[in-house]
Structure 1
Amino acid sequence: MLALISGTGALPSVVAAHQPTPPIICALDGHKPDGLEVDVWFRLETIGTLLHKLVARGVTEVCFCGAIQRPGFSPLKLDARTMPLVPTLARAVKDGEDAALRAILGLFEKRGMIAKGAHALVPELLPQPGILTRTPVPQDIEAHIKAAEQVSIEQGRADEGQSCVIRDEQVIAREDARGTDAMLRGLCQNDVRPMPTTEGDPFGAAMDFVGDMLDDAADWLSGPVAEARAKPKGGVFFKAPKPGQDRRIDLPTIGPETARAVIQARLDGMVIAAEGVMVLEREKVVRLLDDAGLFLWVR
């Protein structure tokens, strides 16, 4: 028996539709997947009860799929089955997002459930290497890729996002906790970074926010980055897994909305890592890019 530990978006419904037996749909509170009825709602504070329910229902496999915003956590909402897990969760959260995901995955594995990536359950989500569009890649693409791969390494070390935008061999945008679409929107307008909310340390969160804004200002207001960012169009969107990340969870995904955002940002095209980025509604993505004269290279 398979259970989907679901976030928002279309990916959970795609995975569910390709299974011979309907899976159990488990969704984090506030994260309803598109087109699916949720069988079990849960919170981080009640994950122990979720584990108990899945074992009781004979679940042997789990798949983490869908987008999830960093959930809040209230000790007052902890239930009895989750209390013993708090030290494990606390250590993982302290070590960063990837560590937290691995720790949560480990809780399922300790109860005999095998974790499977969405791409393992639906192999066609991973396109074969090659140029999928009619538009060819630019001759200077390798210089862009070299810069983007360095960003990917840096983002992996910092436990940050999985995509960036390169223009004139300069990084003009990096994905952060707001996600890919927010990064691309920021190229089209003066996107305002949302103020983070932290129950435990609001002053520290505010200072982190100010520090991030000052770092951004230093990048955008001086040097070759500013010159590249000031240009009205052009550039390459790049997306790849963070080096060393567990590919059973949080494998990057693009879809039609990503393609539309890249088009609106007036970029030249998209490069994604072969065997590392899933593509939802591939035919629609290719059609949108073809109509706009952009390229998609699975590299």
Structure 2
Amino acid sequence: MLALIAGEGALPAAVAAAQTRAPLICALRGHVPEGLTPDITFRLETLGGLMEMLRAQGVTEVCLCGAIGRPAIDLGAIDDLTWPMVPRMREALQRGDDGALRVALELFEGEGFGIVAAHEAAPSLLPPAGVLTEAQPRPDTAAEADLGAQVVAEMGAADQGQACVIRGARVVAREQADGTDAMLARLAPPRGGAPAQGAGDPFSWAADMMGDMLGGAADWLSGQEAEAEARAGILYKAPKPDQDRRADLPTIGPRTVPAVAAAGLAGIVVSAGGVIVLDRAATVAACDRAGLFLWVRG
């Protein structure tokens, strides 16, 4: 039996939907996955107790999927089965994202659970290589993608991110700890303003950007043909070098598209075999409506 150790976002529901037998949904307290009702809600301080519970219910494999923050450990809440894990848990919380996930995977493996990657549990989450949209990459996109791959490799080697924004020969933005959506929001102009030319003030436009996105998708679709001609640059996403791909593969989905359009970019380039695309049909359709290209680069 499979258990999903689920974080926030839409990925856990996509993995669950791909299973012929319903998995056990286990959510870290304060991290509720979209579209799923957890069967078990646990605290990091009771991870050992959770593993014992999983064994009792016949779970043999686990899949870590969804976004999870870094909660502080309350020593007073640790159960007896978790105390032996505390040194490794502290080590994980002090590492970067990839290092922390490696420790988490090792803890489950050490207790006898098999690890199933999200894209192994739901293979359709990894799209085939090629251009998936009506819009095609521009003549300079290959060079932009080469630079993006170099930048993400450098960032990933330092465990610092999986995405960047490239315009021509310029690195416009690098993903920070707050993620891709926040990076794109920093590039979007306020309503009625001109497209940003760089990262600028990290917070000056975030509220307007989120309000626009939530207020109505029709705004960014209006006048899309003229806007598409004026757009330039790409969002580039790829896994980190030597990343353990059983957890935390970079992800895009339908919600990524309006943020890319609002940032004034021409399209999205992702690394083939290394980036999950949630609800692929909806993502491609959103790109087509916006005049953006989506290139899965092999």
TM-score, reference length from structure 2: 0.84
Name the amino acid aligned to 2:282.
K
Q: Are 1:262 and 2:260 counterparts?
A: yes
Corresponding residue for residue 174 of structure 2: 174
Q: Are 1:247 and 2:245 counterparts?
A: yes
For residues 89 and 274 of structure 1, the distance between their equivalents in structure 2, rounded to whole angstroms, comes to 32
Aligned counterpart in structure 2 of residue 281 of structure 1, from 279, 282, 292: 279
For residues 31 and 183 of structure 2, the distance between their equivalents in structure 1, rounded to whole angstroms, comes to 21
The answer to whether the 8 Å contact 2:96/2:160 transfers is no
Name the amino acid aligned to 1:276.
G
The answer to whether the 8 Å contact 1:55/1:111 transfers is no
Matches within 5 A, 1:95-244: 95-189=95-189, 190-192=201-203, 233-244=231-242
Q: Which runs of 5+ in 2 are unaligned?
A: 190-200, 205-229
For residues 273 and 66 of structure 2, the distance between their equivalents in structure 1, rounded to whole angstroms, comes to 18
For residues 15 and 5 of structure 1, the distance between their equivalents in structure 2, rounded to whole angstroms, comes to 11
Q: Helix, strand or coil for the counterpart of 1:256?
A: coil
The answer to whether the 8 Å contact 2:140/2:168 transfers is no
Corresponding residue for residue 37 of structure 2: 37
Q: Helix, strand or coil for the counterpart of 1:238?
A: strand
Q: Helix, strand or coil for the counterpart of 2:187?
A: coil
Q: Offset at 1:14?
A: 1.4
Q: Which runs of 5+ in 1 are unaligned?
A: 194-231
For residues 175 and 9 of structure 2, the distance between their equivalents in structure 1, rounded to whole angstroms, comes to 18
Name the amino acid aligned to 1:242.
K
Q: Offset at 1:177?
A: 1.1
Name the amino acid aligned to 1:192.
F
Q: Offset at 1:233?
A: 4.8
The answer to whether the 8 Å contact 1:164/1:238 transfers is yes
Percent identity, please: 52
For residues 35 and 94 of structure 1, the distance between their equivalents in structure 2, rounded to whole angstroms, comes to 31
Q: Offset at 1:89?
A: 1.7
For residues 87 and 73 of structure 2, the distance between their equivalents in structure 1, rounded to whole angstroms, comes to 14
For residues 152 and 74 of structure 1, the distance between their equivalents in structure 2, rounded to whole angstroms, comes to 35
Q: Offset at 1:191?
A: 3.5
For residues 126 and 268 of structure 2, the distance between their equivalents in structure 1, rounded to whole angstroms, comes to 15
Could you list the per-position Cα deviations for residues 201-248 of structure 1 after superposition, in whole angstroms to 9, with x for gaps in the alignment? xxxxxxxxxxxxxxxxxxxxxxxxxxxxxxx95210000001111101
Q: Helix, strand or coil for the counterpart of 2:148?
A: helix
Corresponding residue for residue 2 of structure 2: 2
Could you list the per-position Cα deviations for residues 255-283 of structure 1 after superposition, in whole angstroms to 9, with x for gaps in the alignment? 01111110111100000010101111111
For residues 252 and 279 of structure 2, the distance between their equivalents in structure 1, rounded to whole angstroms, comes to 9
For residues 105 and 283 of structure 1, the distance between their equivalents in structure 2, rounded to whole angstroms, comes to 31
For residues 43 and 276 of structure 1, the distance between their equivalents in structure 2, rounded to whole angstroms, comes to 30
For residues 74 and 154 of structure 1, the distance between their equivalents in structure 2, rounded to whole angstroms, comes to 35
For residues 91 and 71 of structure 1, the distance between their equivalents in structure 2, rounded to whole angstroms, comes to 13
Q: Helix, strand or coil for the counterpart of 1:13?
A: helix
Q: Offset at 1:97?
A: 2.2
Aligned counterpart in structure 1 of residue 288 of structure 2, from 279, 286, 290: 290
For residues 9 and 256 of structure 1, the distance between their equivalents in structure 2, rounded to whole angstroms, comes to 12
For residues 139 and 2 of structure 1, the distance between their equivalents in structure 2, rounded to whole angstroms, comes to 45
For residues 233 and 18 of structure 1, the distance between their equivalents in structure 2, rounded to whole angstroms, comes to 36
